[in-house]
Amino acid sequence: MIIGLTGGIASGKSTVSNMMKNEGIPVVDADIIAREVVEQGEATYQKIVDAFGKEIITNDGCLDRKKLGALVFQDEKKRMLLNSIVHPAIRIRMHEKVESFKNEGFATIVLDIPLLFESKLTNMVEKIIVVFVDYELQLERLKQRDQFTDQEALVRINAQMPLKDKIALADEVIHNHGSIDETKQQLLSILKKWNCL
Ligand code: ADP
């Protein structure tokens, strides 16, 4: 079974995905892959440089993600161009990792994709778990984790699809308001129900 794990920023996805790993379930992390595919030497890196020019490269040859981010943030056409280069590469690489875990004999594989719905990647997974917290707690945990001001945290939360709207699209919801152990118990009961343990 391929499980999609998603939620909102600071809702507890990493916390839950670590729990999955502790249960021996392999996790394919979309954020890590998004960084991998734009490393120097990758075909995607070259495509981005060809499209956006050398000014988006740092002195040591790495992609200047901040500069690129600022560039596409202001320009919808450029954002779409970047996405059209990066998104297919991420999808292909995730698919390759899934296949490789399958070949190793794993029956359950997790895809940790923060923007599972926004990026329309739901067809890559069979079941979806949304890690949910309410808005106030999300704000509080984000501020604390990343040392953000109210404003910095709000901008990031409000840029995403509201977490409560994601619930309607989930097969199962983990309510991450309580203790870490309570969250783990919810996860284990879902995995048992799906015969993944
Ligand atoms: P995400 O991966 O969704 O961005 P994290 O797993 O990093 O979220 O969680 C956000 C922050 O909240 C982290 O600092 C994490 O340690 C903390 N956290 C997550 N779940 C709980 C919980 N049940 N109780 C207390 N703190 C939590």
Q: What pLDDT is stored for residue 73 in this prediction?
A: 84
- Which whole number is the average pLDDT over 78-97? 96
pLDDT digits (tens, 9 = 90+) for 10-47: 999 999 999 999 999 999 999 999 999 999 999 999 99
Ligand 1 site, residue 6, Cβ cutoff 6 A:
no
Asked if the model's pLDDT at residue 112 lies above 90, the reply is yes
Q: Whose CA is nearest to atom 5 of ligand 1?
A: 12
Reply yes or no on whether the pLDDT at 74 is more than 90. no
Spans of all domains in the chain? 1-26+108-197, 32-105
Fold of the 32-105 domain: Rossmann fold (3.40.50)
DSSP string, the chain: -EEEEEE-TTSSHHHHHHHHHHTT--EEEHHHHHHHTTSTTSHHHHHHHHHH-GGGB-TTS-B-HHHHHHHHHS-HHHHHHHHHHHHHHHHHHHHHHHHHHHHTT-S-EEEE-TTTTTTT-GGG-SEEEEEE--HHHHHHHHHHHHT--HHHHHHHHHTSPPHHHHHTT-SEEEETTS-HHHHHHHHHHHHHHTT--
For ligand 1, whether the C-beta of 185 sits within 6 Å is no
- Using CA positions, which residue lies closest to atom 9 of ligand 1? 12
Domains 1-26+108-197 and 32-105 share a fold: yes
Which residue has the CA at smallest separation from atom 21 of ligand 1? 180
- The whole-model pTM stands at 0.93
Rounded-to-integer distance, Cα 160 and Cα 59, Å: 32
State the architecture of 1-26+108-197 in CATH terms: 3-Layer(aba) Sandwich (3.40)
Atom of ligand 1 nearest to the CA of 8: 3
User: Does residue 13 line the site of ligand 1, with CB under 6 A?
Assistant: yes
